[in-house]
Chain A
Amino acid sequence: MNPLLRRLRHDLFATPADGLITVALLAVIGAGGASFLRWAFSQARWAVIQANSTLFAVGRYPMDQQWRLWLLTALLAAATGITWGMLRSHPRPDRGGTLWPRNDRIAVGLLVVLSLLLPWMLGLSLSIQLRWLSITAVLVLLRWLAGRFGPQLPAPFKRLLPLGLPLLYLIGMVLIGGGLGLVSVSPSEWGGLLLTLLQSSFAILLCFPLGVLLALGRRSELPLLRWGSVLYIEFIRGAPLITLLFLGQNMLGFLLPGGLAPERVWRAAWVLTLFAAAYLAEAVRSGLAAVPRGQLEAARSLGMSMPQAFTSVVLPQALRVALPSMVGQFISLLQDTTLLSLIGLMELLGTARTVMANPAFLGRNAEVYFTLAVLFWCCCAALGLGSRALERRLDPAAIARSG
């Protein structure tokens, strides 16, 4: 018998009951898939997405200032290209020291196809289609250049290169918000995907140090630090995020001296950060618990100070163990930004609400929600994939094997 057939038989038709389940599931999948395709290609009116693509991307960001966002996108693409190329030029410990194999090229191909296909499907004008294409070209070109010439760069320069990323974040904040000679664009005009990404990246970046400190505090031998951290973590974890956002919007004005309370967007960003820190602390704590006590003792007996022992011996090991659950927290943080729509911010879901309130697009809920779901799914799945790839690269067993 054909091995494929045998495999199919073993997997799908091993017993009569299995066969029945398979047939029933196939029927359900067929019916569901057919009705979905019928909806997507004949009933759905995708004009609601095409006509509002700018709104979904950046909200009500002023038209004449949008070049700043294009510049930022190009800079991000350049940074991605360089990072990708530099990583590519490093031998992979978990792949027996070979350079990145086939899937790297597949990813580039996919990216190029997407950059051609998506703008066209969204019905963007030709000049904007060209912009996306050139941004992709920059990314691919820099990836190739960095992969080709990156290893020959002088070592100090290579060591300083990662500092470009925080610098880029600051440049991005200036480009988005204004200042340094640029017209200021108030946070209330930020919206759509721009606001979602800003809120989540801000919270992810800041909750990380806070979370690590809280986790260390919770495991500290000093009772005041320990109980303070426990109180904070349990208080935050006991409350639904929406009530905390509600607290931020309604009570922060009372808690700070008049006029000092930040803008609504920033209030929400800080609440998200403080919220995420408590959950991250729990993830880090489980990582810390996995590091044997002897590690700290050995580091101390080598003469390292307490901070030194933590930053160079304990934390690197703890964070590696905690990586999957930390990324899990980041993913749910990204998803939690949708709650900002409930307090009136115009992030992706809030923008969707205003779009659907427009009489021209009444009743087009399914198209909009479906698009948002695909967008979120891709972002979250990408984060998950990245985390798994990082886990493999940091796996000490694999590194030891490649010797």
Chain B
Amino acid sequence: MGVTPSSVPRSALGAAAPVPWWRNRRVIPWLVQGAVGLTVLVVVAFLLGNLIRNLTAAGLLLSWGWLNQPAGFDIAETILPFQASDPYWRGLLAGLVNSLRVVVAGLLGSTLLGTLLGMASFSGNALLRGLTRLYVEVVRNIPLLLQLVFWYFVVFLSLPNGTAAIQLPGVVLAKSGLYLAGFVEGLRWMGPHLVNGVWQAPLRWSVEFGALLTGLIAYTSAFIAEVVRGGIAAVPKGQWEAASSLGLSWIQTLRQVVLPQALRVIVPGLNTQYISLAKNSSLAVAVGFSDLYSVAETTLNQTGRAVEVVLVLLGTYLALDLFISLLMNGLNRLVQIRER
């Protein structure tokens, strides 16, 4: 490098000496950005170059024609009718519908349970408060995947079958699935019933779905309970006191005075939890439920189309997250205080 002008004392250069260009405050940002941009560009070009070279060598250059080939695998439980002779794209779509089903049911269930738990942590009953705390601490410190396999292998797979199954009015819980009462054709109400030792009902959920849903709800509700608790704690104490001095009961105070104000704090927190619920639904593969991820994994194993499958997966989950965010932002606008 030699002697750089910056090592010369500035006074020796005189007052009028121009600032060297690499110390010019207008130039530095461009220099930094240029360096970073160039590095990123080189790395990306290197990776993409390798990708194209390796894919060409393997004969797997990006193409979407395989989506129309017959899938050749079955999906155990679908809303969208699907059979092995249907094309791959239909299989992936059926997987997505299954994912959405878990996410929607999970959102409803965990919001309900989480709100109840969050409210219970403000109860006057110390035992109830303590138990809520305990639940949150236990659930949050155990990995979700461990909880899911626990629900599936330990709880749901050890359910009894046949006449020994757990029977509630309109609901039967057996090892072969969850049977719910519903309307059959002609609007006739029908409950679960035994036919030759096998349960039959208008609505059947598999134990895989049941375990996944239970696990997701149990896990997410603990986080939502914390969000709700934080929101309620953010409402000034005077609001509680004012409401109770007006003669409102505890539950009335909560419903009519505190929760509407707490919602402003709660809704943004809920957004985060809902998105992580949607992402966590991809753990369905651990309990053998055919969601989008699990169908995509099977597809990859059969076609070897790694890049396309990964792109489909990432794009779909990103879109799902964005959709939830949009909905929650709309909700957020509704609950914010409207000042004149």
Contacts and interface: CB of A to CB of B under 8 A. Distances in A.
A254 interface: yes
Given A224-B36, A376-B141, A349 B146 contact: yes
Contact of B279 (A225, A240, A247, A342): A240
B50 A341 contact: no
A11 interface: yes
Contacts of A178: none
Given A240-B282, A369-B153, A377 B318 contact: no
Contact of A224 (B33, B51, B286): B33
B146 to A, nearest CB: 6
Interface stretch (B3-11, B104-112, B120-128): B120-128
A339 interface: yes
Contact of B124 (A14, A242, A253, A258): A14
B69 interface: no
Interface stretch (A18-26, A72-80, A150-158): A18-26
B311 to A, nearest CB: 10
B306 A254 contact: yes
Nearest to B60: A254
Contacts of A335: 142-144
Contact of B286 (A222, A239, A247, A342): A342
B280 interface: yes
A264 to B, nearest CB: 15
Contacts of B150: 365-366, 369, 373
A369 B32 contact: no
B1 to A, nearest CB: 20
A246 B297 contact: yes
B145 interface: yes
Given A224-B33, A342-B145, A376-B141, 8 more contacts: A14-B125, A21-B127, A238-B314, A255-B54, A338-B145, A342-B283, A349-B146, A369-B153
Contacts of A339: 145, 283
A21 B282 contact: no
A221 interface: yes
Interface of A: 11-12, 14-15, 18, 21-22, 25-26, 29, 221-225, 228, 235, 238-243, 246-247, 250-251, 253-258, 331, 335-336, 338-339, 341-342, 349, 365-366, 369, 372-373, 376-377, 380-381, 384
| Highest count of chain B CB atoms <10 Å: which of A243, A247, A257 | A243
A282 to B, nearest CB: 10
21 contacts: A12-B127, A18-B124, A18-B125, A21-B125, A21-B128, A25-B127, A221-B29, A224-B36, A235-B318, A238-B321, A239-B318, A240-B282, A247-B314, A254-B55, A338-B145, A369-B149, A369-B153, A372-B146, A373-B142, A377-B138, A377-B142
Interface string B19-48: 000000000010011001100100000010
Contacts of A377: 138, 141-142
B322 to A, nearest CB: 8
